[in-house]
Amino acid sequence: MNAQPYRPTLAVWKLASCDGCQLTLLDCEDDLLEIAGAVTIAHFPEATSNKQPGPYDISLVEGSVANPATAALVQQIRSESKVVVAIGACATSGGVQALRNFADVEAYKSSVYPYPEWIEATPDCLPVSSFVKVDYELRGCPISAKQLLEFLRAVLSGEKPRFPTYSVCTECKLRGVTCLAVSRGESCMGPITQAGCGALCPGFNRGCYGCFGPCEEANVEAYKKLAGAHDAVRRLKMIVTNFETPKGATQ
Amino acid sequence: MSKLDFHTQDPPILEAEAFGTLWRVLNDFGYQVVGPALRDGAIRLVPLESADDLPRGIRDLQTPGNYRTSSRDDGYLFGYSHVADGAKRWLLRPRTTLWRISRRDGQPTIEESRDPVPKVALLGLRACDLKAIEILDRVMLRESRADTDYAECREQTLLIAVNCEWPSSLCFCESMGAGPQATGGFDLCLTELPPGGDRFLVEVGSPKGHEILSRLNTRPATTNELHESKKVIARAKGSLRKRLETRGLTQALYSGVEDDHWERVAGRCFACGNCTFSCPTCFCCDYQDLGEIHQRVWDTCFHSEFSGLHGGAVRGSRASKYRHWITHKLASWQEQFQTLGCVGCGRCIAWCPAGIDLTEEARALVGVAQGDTK
């Protein structure tokens, strides 16, 4: 065979984020080499200074839109990409920095920075989907490497990627993790959190803290009863503020 | 003693030391011993190195949505109700590869490629666990469509029951005709005599069981010991507090399809599926293609995808999911498999994070059917 098969171009972008999701991709190690063999990595500043101009077949976008610059970048990414994939809690629902949506950003700026006037922060910190059409969302803080690899494999082979809509409980039961809510009275958020992490935290004897966001039909009222008033409020703040910023909370 | 004689003999006694040699004997027969041990706060069915791994002097306490263990002041090795996860995990494996597809000489080729099936002796099964296996057999080994992996796991597994002496407050095996005494379906069945840990009465249930027993050092039971074994089982029976009234239940479930009671259950239910995963008879699996491998994976009727068709799920609401599960388990299962799907182990009640009690829900539905005011 003389003709080289076409290799789709992959771009990896960063908005307001900690880089942890991009690092998850780099941490794939051997599997990363396989991905690199199947695609042309055209833009991935975290990994290489070699940047190729668009258009791109697949863009993985990490981070939330927090200022005018990221708002402009997200438009550019959309216009240059066939498939836009939001990766991680920041890109899919705002992330930890979205806590400011429930406070006064000007007050935050003055208490954190010596020259607040230099900071161009929008009042709200929002997910990518508040600005452009997103084709797929990979949840988690950070994303699961396994889910990312399975997603890329499916997309590259023309299959419809599978995303669970059920809760973390299924993953605990498949793995054989003893239920922390039932056996220890832990305020585990597993019953209302979307699966995909492979029951990572419960597997290490820690209750789920909801980083994959709410699952389909999450029964929050039942969770309040499970966790008890105090713990429920503390934990629900995590799932509501960090990982479920109301879309379009800004004008 | 010929192979056919084993039923007619008085069951002998296995003392502590000889019980300890069970591991070596089973290993000689090629079996890995899988039995109860305390793991992460629950008594689980796990590989055991020796009798020292058994949960000596430990009991379990179960209430709806709650499971705890505590110590008891005696030497019972099997002094708990039953293991938190039943035998299902070892027979109907949670995730197993069935086949793999590859390209050979340019042609797609499908090859059977199953995960190795371990040869295990499941130790400590209760009567309810045996009944559950009998039900699973009916489902998974139906003549025209037997599941290959289940069949092989079953073939490779030796069943060593231990009669239940310590039902939990959630057990209702008697009303399901499943216990507490093991009456068949085992290779060997032990009864632990008081004060626990030093004498076991051994019954044989199969030629294989007989072969294994003949390698163990036993002595004849005294009349008193035979009497004691009956007494401990009677005591277990007497301690069962919970019941599921099955009379009129099928009709109540069928006629209550539109009842608003389901919405009340749905208010408490997470649709997490923990009841089905903990249930020793729930058998539903999904078949998934992950690249070149084809896997069978535990599924549950509480997932929306379970009833997913073009355009959405047939049962998308928690109310319809719960109704489907309990109606299948306690009514239509009968028509499908000539038995109900419940053995009264109470696992679905204990391991439900919301503590939903299927016996209470069934009772409420029967009440609705009989015109009780709500």
Q: Which domain holds residue B72?
A: 3-238
Q: Are both B232 and B363 inside the same structural domain? A: no
From first to last of its 374 residues, chain B has per-residue pLDDT tens of 444 455 557 899 999 999 999 999 999 999 999 999 999 999 999 999 999 999 999 999 999 999 999 999 999 999 999 999 889 999 999 999 999 999 888 899 999 888 999 999 999 999 999 999 999 999 999 888 899 999 999 999 999 999 999 999 999 999 999 999 999 999 999 999 999 999 999 999 999 999 999 999 999 999 999 999 999 999 999 999 999 988 889 999 999 999 999 999 999 999 999 999 999 999 999 999 888 899 999 999 999 999 999 888 999 999 999 999 999 999 999 999 999 999 999 999 999 999 999 999 999 988 877 775 44
Residue B4, pLDDT score: 46
Residue B244 located in a structural domain: no
Burial of A20 per CB tally in 10 Å (0-12, 13-18, 19+): middle
Q: What is the mean pLDDT of each run of 10 residues along chain A (251 residues)?
A: 76 95 89 85 88 93 96 97 96 89 87 91 94 96 92 88 93 97 93 95 94 91 83 65 42 27
My answer on whether B321 and B296 are in the same domain is yes
A131: burial class by Cβ within 10 Å (0-12, 13-18, 19+)?
Answer: middle
Chain A residues with beta carbon closer than 8 angstroms to that of B64:
none
Q: Map out the domains of chain A with their CATH numbers.
A: 9-156 (3.40.50.700), 168-242 (no CATH)
- C-beta atoms of B272 and A179 within 8 A: no
B277–A191 CB contact, under 8 Å: no
Quick one: B36 exposed, middle or buried, by C-beta within 10 A (0-12, 13-18, 19+)? buried
Q: What single letter denotes the amino acid at residue B253?
A: L
Distance from CA of A184 to the nearest CA of B (A): 7
Strands (E), B75-193: 95-104, 107-112, 120-125, 157-162, 188-192
* Binary contact (A190, B272; C-beta < 8 A): yes
Task: Report the alpha-carbon distance of residue B256 to residue B261 in Å, rounded.
Answer: 8
Residues B273 and B227 reside in one and the same domain: no
Mutation site, B40, B92, B276, B315, interface A, largest A CB count within 10 A: B40
Q: Quick check: is B199 in a domain? A: yes
B220/A115 Cα distance (integer angstroms):
90
- Of B212, B238, B264, the last residue of a domain is B238
Q: How far is CA B326 from CA B165, B232, B356, in A?
A: 28, 33, 12
Judge contact between B268 and B349, C-beta under 8 A: no
Same domain, B280 and B205: no
* Token duo for residue A87: 């990766």
pLDDT at B329: 96
Check whether residue B170 and residue B148 sit in a common domain: yes
- What does the block give as tokens for A216? 């389909």
How many structural domains does chain B have? 2
Residue B194 domain flag: yes
Same-domain check for residues B157 and B60: yes
The answer as to whether B243 is a domain residue is no
Asked whether residue B97 falls in the same domain as residue B7, the answer is: yes
pLDDT score at A246? 41
Q: Which residue of B has its CA nearest to A222?
A: B268
| Residue in chain A lying closest to B85 (CA) | A176
Residue in A closest to B351 by C-alpha:
A182
Q: Comparing C-alpha atoms, which of B326, B331, B336 is closest to residue B279?
A: B326
Q: Which of A72, A94, A74 is nearest to A84 (CA)?
A: A74
Per the CB < 8 Å rule, is A178 touching B300? no
How many angstroms separate the CA of residue A64 from the nearest CA in chain B?
30
For residue A153, give how far its alpha carbon lies from the nearest alpha carbon of chain B (Å): 7
Do B355 and B305 touch, CB atoms closer than 8 A? no
Per-residue pLDDT at A159: 85
Q: Quote the longest CA-to-CA distance of chain A.
A: 67
Inspect the interface and report whether the beta carbons of B353 and A150 lie closer than 8 Å.
no
- Which residue of chain B has the CA closest to A179? B351
Identify the closest residue of chain A to B93 by CA–CA distance. A174
Which of the residues B66, B68, B272, B320 would you substitute to probe the A interface, choosing the one with the greatest number of A C-beta atoms within 10 Å? Answer: B272
Contact criterion met (CB < 8 Å) for B41 and A176? no
pLDDT in tens, A108-128: 888 889 999 999 999 999 999
Supply the pLDDT for residue B145.
85
Q: Pick from B238, B261, B278: which residue ends a domain?
A: B238
CB contact under 8 A, A219 and B270: yes
Same domain, B224 and B304: no
Contact B354 A225 (CB under 8 A): yes
Residues B95 and B158 in one domain: yes
Q: Which of B84, B290, B298 sits opposite A178 (nearest CB)?
A: B84
User: B238, B266, B285: which is the final residue of a domain?
Assistant: B238
- Residue from B270, B282, B302 whose CB has the most chain A CBs within 10 Å, to mutate: B270
- Does the residue B186 lie in any domain? yes
**B68·A222 Cβ contact <8 A:** no
Q: How far is A35 from chain B, CA to nearest CA, in Å?
A: 14
**Which of A170, A181, A217 is opposite residue B273, by nearest beta carbon?**
A170
Residue B374 lies inside a defined structural domain of this protein: no
For A169, nearest residue in chain B (alpha carbons) = B272
- Contact list in A for residue B278 (CB cut-off 8 A) is 173
Contact pairs from chain A to chain B, CB under 8 Å = 109
Q: Quick one: closest CA in A to B354, which residue?
A: A226
pLDDT of residue A248: 37
Residues B202 and B270 in one domain: no
Residue B25 belongs to a domain = yes
B111 φ/ψ angles, rounded to the nearest 5 degrees? -125, 140
Burial of residue A111 (number of CB atoms within 10 Å: 0-12, 13-18, 19+): exposed
Residues B28 and B171 in one domain: yes
Are residues B267 and B187 part of one domain?
no
- The alpha carbon of residue A103 is apart from the nearest alpha carbon of chain B, in Å, by 32
CB B186 within 8 A of CB B209: yes
Minimal CA–CA distance to A63: which of A5, A153, A127, A1? A127
3-state SS, residue A131:
coil
C-alpha B16 chain-centroid distance? 27
Distance CA A137, CA A140 (A): 10
